[in-house]
């Protein structure tokens, strides 16, 4: 049976290989600014999240942004739960990613440096990842086990 380190290494290699041959839509140098939006909340904290729900939207994510308001973020929505891994190669601002269970519970949070090829993965399979400016979750006192509501979590 493969160890967790071997699995993470394989995921990183597959992600890197996939992105190296990414289609043209993933290699544009224009930020996505007009995605659909969802209102989320974490306790009393309100979040205006752009929703990246298609493969192209998810591949581009927050790349090429030079700034992002503190109350805004991007919610990545996947078709089914899987170990999700993110990197920051063409992302110009440092971010924190909260990996979220189907009910909006935070599974784990990763702080990610701008322009870094380092991969950050969910601790278990998830369908949602919320990226905010780096440190946002820590500043709000949010940690694994805390729940977000609204958007796709409103009906759970």
Q: Which of 40, 5, 18 is nearest to 154 (CA)?
A: 40
Q: How confident is the model at residue 1 (pLDDT cuts 50, 70, 90)?
A: low
Q: What are the extents of the domains in the chain?
A: 35-153
Give the tokens for residue 78. 């996947």
Q: In the prediction, which pLDDT does 13 show?
A: 46
* Contact between residue 84 and residue 60 where contact means Cβ atoms under 8 Å apart: no
Residue with the bigger pLDDT between 11 and 125: it is: 125
**What single DSSP character describes residue 105?**
B
**68: number of Cβ within 10 Å:** 18
Q: What is the mean pLDDT of residues 65-79?
A: 97
Of the candidates 92, 87, 71, 77, which has an alpha carbon nearest to the alpha carbon of residue 129? 77
CATH superfamily membership of 35-153: Protein of unknown function DUF192 (2.60.120.1140)
pLDDT surpassing 50 at residue 10:
no
pLDDT confidence of 29, banded at 50, 70, 90?
confident
155, 141, 150: which is closest to 73 by C-alpha?
Answer: 150
128 falls in which pLDDT band (50, 70, 90)?
very high
Q: Whole-model pTM? A: 0.82
pLDDT at 6: 47
């Amino acid at each position: 049976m493969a160890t967790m380190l071997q699995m993470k290494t394989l995921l990183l290699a597959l992600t890197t290989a996939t992105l190296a041959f990414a289609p043209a839509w993933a290699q544009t140098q224009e930020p996505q600014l007009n995605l659909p939006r969802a209102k989320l909340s974490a306790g009393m904290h309100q979040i205006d999240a752009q929703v990246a729900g298609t493969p192209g939207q998810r591949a581009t994510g927050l790349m090429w942004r030079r700034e992002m308001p503190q109350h805004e973020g991007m919610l990545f929505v996947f078709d089914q739960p899987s170990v999700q891994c993110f990197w920051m190669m063409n992302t110009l601002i440092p971010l924190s990613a909260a990996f979220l269970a189907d009910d909006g519970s935070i599974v784990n949070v990763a702080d990610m440096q701008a322009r870094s090829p380092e991969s950050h993965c969910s601790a278990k399979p998830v369908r949602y990842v919320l990226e905010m400016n780096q440190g946002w979750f820590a500043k709000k006192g949010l940690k694994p086990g805390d729940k977000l509501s609204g958007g796709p979590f409103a009906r759970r």
